[in-house]
Amino acid sequence: MTPSPLPLLVHQGPGEVILPILLYHHVLESSLVNPYTLAPAQFEAQMRLLWERGYRTISVAQFLTALESGTDLPICPVLITFDDGDEDVYTQALPILQRYGFTATVYLVVDYLDKPGFLRLDQVQSLLEAGWEVGSHSLSHPDLTHVDVGRVWEEVAGSRARLEALLGVPITTFAYPYGSAYPQILKKVRAAGYQAGMGLGLSYRHSPGSRFYLSRRPIEARTTLAEFANLLPWHTCGEKTRTTISGSTPSLPLH
């Protein structure tokens, strides 16, 4: 798959930004039953469908800029994220995404780094060099709603400090383990210096008020390609592209 020229851009924000944020975990051939393990062929079929329908990946940084001050984004943007930092993100997902010119963000559990089955630091550096972003998914992946206040702070702020020291890049977003959080945890994520927090949800409409619990849609192994297609907010970007070229403002109908 040869990446196309730069996609047509339209202005989004400030304020509401519409885009799907997709959450993946494993891309791996496995005989074990895991609802979050997609076979490489299944993952590639989903990426091909995104490509063919006109979706193009953006970074979390681009998304947050649109949310805060407004910026130009691809006409059908999508944000792809991976939680936990499993090694198959590098060995399986990366080559597939590169075939389509796509990038993603990986949320790392610090204590998992360099452990068997998880990403090594050199692999994370390679992802960064490939244009990916890195965020924190805590130190040890506890349900933050079930631990004491001091440990919440260490999991949130301590993980950011350690990742920045290890990788030498700013860590600006946090993904809540299990998607679990309550208002005081969101406040700690903000106080720790993050710009946003990733949660779970079905909405594709994001606002500045939701930036510390952004809606991400988990993609499971049982999701068929037809079901995946129906999860997307827009059937195709082709009509909007032609409308924009003709000189009028494209509508972005959600189905």
CATH number at residue 151: 3.20.20.370
Q: Does residue 193 form part of some domain?
A: yes
> Two tokens at 187?
């406040």
According to the model, what pLDDT value does residue 6 have?
59
Q: Does residue 250 form part of some domain?
A: no
Q: Does residue 214 form part of some domain?
A: yes
Q: Does residue 18 form part of some domain?
A: yes
Q: Does residue 4 form part of some domain?
A: no
State the CB neighbour count (10 A cutoff) for residue 170: 14
Q: Does residue 235 form part of some domain?
A: yes
Per the structure, the complete domain to which residue 234 belongs is given by 9-243
> Two tokens at 108?
């790392």
Q: What is the pLDDT of residues 243-252, one digit of tens each?
A: 443 333 333 4
Identify whether the C-beta of residue 19 lies closer than 8 Å to the C-beta of residue 84.
no
> Two tokens at 23?
């959450």
Q: Could you tell me how far CA 139 lies from the centroid of its own chain?
A: 19
**Mean pLDDT calculated for residue range 147-158:** 96
Round the average pLDDT of the chain to a whole number and report it: 90
Q: What is the pLDDT of residues 94-130, one digit of tens each?
A: 999 999 999 999 999 999 999 999 999 999 999 999 9
Q: Does residue 192 form part of some domain?
A: yes
Q: Does residue 251 form part of some domain?
A: no
> Two tokens at 156?
């949130």
According to the model, what pLDDT value does residue 32 have?
76
According to the model, what pLDDT value does residue 28 have?
94
In the predicted model, is pLDDT for residue 227 greater than 60?
A: yes
Number of folded domains in the chain?
1
In the predicted model, is pLDDT for residue 239 greater than 70?
A: no
